[in-house]
Amino acid sequence: MRTLTALAIGWITCVALVSAQNPERRPRPLPSNLPETSPFTSATDLEIGRKLYQGRCGHCHGQSGEGGRGAVLNAGNFRRGGSDRELFVTIRNGIPNTEMPGAFNLPDIEIWRVVGYVQQLARQGTAERSAGDAVAGAMVYQKNGCATCHRIDAAGGFIGPDLTDIGAKRALRYLRESIVDPSADIPLDYRLVSVTDRRGRNVSGIHLNEDEYSIHLRDIDGNLRSFMKTELTGITLPRQSLMPAYASLPPVDVENLVAYLSSLRPARRP
């Protein structure tokens, strides 16, 4: 199996060309006179914003902004800025290299209405607090070797998601589920793929990208691997996480670990 440097460059070029030919999937230029505050704040605007949010955003962020696979929105803390204008830009253009897509096809007036409803959630909501002990949870994290795959402040592995600010991004219930049943909701950037070559050798890792001719993954040692599909006899995408389930952990350890992860925010940590 050989490294496909030229093919990788070609793949990137193709992606760029496809993006150029599909401008509706690219961020639109911002209006030159974009206001700092939303011009659409009536009760009708907020009701329309609520319906848009629940239909487009609630699946990831929670119907009340409590978070899920998307960031918590009802605690009043927004990592990319919480002004109306900043929220408008984030919703309109999305966040590159994350699962947060841009609302490329949504009219600006409707984006403003979603902004208004998100601000309402931020004012009315309260941040969840775990009943666990964050300091004890840090010990659970170390004892169970979580740093082998995950990293916090650049310390740790690269196979699993970066947990540096996970407390600001995920709700308690999502953190808890991710510990005891990680395969229940696998982040798109961490889907498992397994390939088998003509000699029967198997390589598993994180699916990075794929086209008609090749597939690229990051193996469990963190190495980037590229394969021509003509060299392979099988490609499978198991619906399971590389992370083992910790359902057998004592409930108190699970809750303490949840408390520790929830404390990992841009602000101070225990």
Going by pLDDT thresholds of 50, 70 and 90, the confidence category of residue 125 is low
Is residue 20 in some structural domain?
A: no
Is residue 255 in some structural domain?
A: yes
Q: Give the strands of the sheet with 214-219, arranged side by side.
A: 224-228, 214-219, 202-210, 192-197, 232-236
Is residue 78 in some structural domain?
A: yes
Same domain, residue pair 158 and 89: no
| Domain termination site, one of 106, 124, 142 | 124
Contact 137, 146 (CB under 8 A): no
Comparing CA positions, the residue from 197, 198, 228, 199 lying closest to residue 211 is 228
H or E segment and range at residue 261: helix 251-262
Same domain, residue pair 79 and 150: no
Task: Report, as an integer, the average pLDDT of 104-132.
Answer: 86
* Full DSSP string of 36-94: SS-S--SHHHHHHHHHHHHHHTHHHH-TTS--SSSPP-TTS--TT--SHHHHHHHHHH-
Specify burial of residue 94 (Cβ count, 10 A radius: 0-12, 13-18, 19+): middle
- CATH, residue 216: 2.30.30.100
Tens digits of per-residue pLDDT, 197-245?
999 999 999 999 999 999 999 988 889 999 999 999 999 998 889 899 9
Structural domain boundaries, residue 158 = 134-186+244-262
DSSP H helices in 84-147: 84-93, 108-124, 134-143
Same domain, residue pair 169 and 256: yes
Same domain, residue pair 168 and 201: no
- For residue 8, pLDDT over 50 is answered with no
Same domain, residue pair 101 and 158: no
Radius of gyration of the chain measured on its C-alpha atoms? 21
* Residue 85 to residue 107: CA distance in whole angstroms: 15
Pair of tokens at residue 151: 């990293």
* Residue 218 to residue 237: CA distance in whole angstroms: 14
Domain count, the chain: 3
| For the chain, percent of residues with pLDDT exceeding 70 | 87
Contact 189, 224 (CB under 8 A): no
Q: b/e string for 54-63 if b means 16 or more Cβ within 10 A? A: eebbbeebbe
Same domain, residue pair 52 and 163: no
- For CA atoms 38, 44, 47, 51, the dihedral sign is negative
Q: Name residue, tokens 């395969």.
A: 183
Per-residue CA distances from 203 to 51, 124, 158, 206 (Å): 45, 49, 17, 10
Same domain, residue pair 46 and 102: yes
Is residue 24 in some structural domain?
A: no
- CATH, residue 157: 1.10.760.10
pLDDT at 25: 55
- For CA atoms 40, 43, 44, 50, the dihedral sign is positive
Same domain, residue pair 153 and 257: yes
Tens digits of per-residue pLDDT, 62-112?
888 888 878 888 877 788 888 999 999 999 999 887 888 888 889 999 999
Is residue 268 in some structural domain?
A: no
pTM of the model: 0.65
Same domain, residue pair 165 and 208: no
Query: How is residue 25 annotated by DSSP?
Result: G
pLDDT at 129: 81
Same domain, residue pair 68 and 105: yes
Tell me the helices (H) and strands (E) count for the chain, helix number first. Answer: 9, 7
